[in-house]
Amino acid sequence: MMWLWLDLFRILVAGLVLGLVVGKLVVLRPHYLERIRPRYWVPRARSMRRKEWVRLISIALWFTAATFAVATIVGVALSEAGVELYSEEEYPFIALERQYPLLLLVAVNVLPIFEEWIFRGIILEEVARRARSKWIGVGVSTIIFAAFHLSNPGTYPAFAIPLLGAGLLLGACYLKIGLAGAIITHNAYNTILVILRLWG
């Protein structure tokens, strides 16, 4: 029972801190909120030519493959070294995978939209603006991205290590092709992971 309260505390603290920081930034700079509204991105998506779509998706899929390769190599290396990333019994996505696989597939495709908007679209941009360096923005947002995932129940500190590589690549993808590309990459990566676990 004590672990349940600790997990709940961990989730609430991480969510509250991130919510307060992002909320303040959105109030100070409303254009961050505009970027996720359909009236902002739907006209842009409709005006894109086929060539632009092909470029966007091609680059996003390249970053997906790179992210998958890096996360897999790091994950396997940690596993071979006997380092546990998470507890099978406590990690919530394992329970979802077993009982509600379709719901899991939906969750891992909806959550990245908000994760990319927050970590790349707001935090990366804000840090880059203040530090006057996009790559410092990538680095700081990557560390926050990886650390935030430790609020998931059942995760151990090493869980953040593969996410550092993934976060760097998602940040680079964001710089190369923007928020839409980072979202596509993150969604594709998550979908591949779920499909491999469900049918592996």
**Structure token pair of residue 104:** 């899991």
What pLDDT shows up at residue 3?
A: 63
pLDDT digits over 39-76, tens only? 999 999 999 999 999 999 999 999 999 999 999 999 99
Q: Which residue type, as a one-letter code, is found at position 122?
A: I
**Structure token pair of residue 23:** 């909320």
**How far, in Å, CA of 139 to CA of 61, rounded?**
22
**How far, in Å, CA of 1 to CA of 105, rounded?**
29
Neighbouring residues of 158: CB distance < 8 A, sequence distance ≥ 6: 78, 83, 84, 85
Q: Where are the beta strands (DSSP E) in 30-93?
A: none
**How far, in Å, CA of 127 to CA of 25, rounded?**
11
**pTM of the model as a whole:** 0.92
Longest dimension (CA), the chain: 55
pLDDT beneath 50: ranges in the chain: none
Neighbouring residues of 170: CB distance < 8 A, sequence distance ≥ 6: 63, 67, 116, 119, 120, 142, 145, 182, 185, 186
What pLDDT shows up at residue 199?
A: 82
What pLDDT shows up at residue 21?
A: 94
Q: What Rg value do the Cα atoms of the chain yield, rounded?
A: 17
Average pLDDT, the chain: 93
